[in-house]
Amino acid sequence: MRLARRDLLRLAAAGVCVPLPALVRPARAREAGYPAPTREAMLPVPGGRVYVRVNGDLAGPRPPLVIVHGGPGGTHAGYLDALALADERAVILYDQLDSGRSDHPNDPANWRVARFVDELEAVRRGLNVARWHVCGHSWGGTIALEYAARRAPAMASAILASPLVSTRSWIADADALRRELPGETQAALATCDTPAPATAAACEAGTAEFYRRFNGREPDPPALRAYARANGRGFNARLYETMWGRSEFVATGSLRDYDGEPLLARVDGARTLFMVGQYDEARPVTSLRFAARMPGAELAVIPGAAHGTFTDRPDETVATLRAWMRRHDG
Active site residues: 138, 280, 307
What's the rounded Cα separation, in Å, for the pair 185 and 177?
Answer: 12
From 273, 322, 285, 283, select the one nearest 306 (Cα to Cα).
Answer: 283
| DSSP secondary structure code for residue 31 in this structure | -
What's the rounded Cα separation, in Å, for the pair 200 and 206?
Answer: 10
Give me the half-sphere count of Cα atoms (radius 13 Å) on the Cβ side of residue 87. 7
Q: What is the three-class DSSP state of 264?
A: helix
149 Ramachandran zone, left/alpha/beta (phi>0; psi -120 to 50): alpha
From 163, 149, 156, select the one nearest 117 (Cα to Cα).
Answer: 149
DSSP H/E element including 261: none
What's the rounded Cα separation, in Å, for the pair 324 and 330?
Answer: 12
Q: What is the three-class DSSP state of 159?
A: strand
* Burial classification of residue 47, based on how many CB atoms lie within 10 Å of its CB (0-12 exposed, 13-18 middle, 19 or more buried): buried
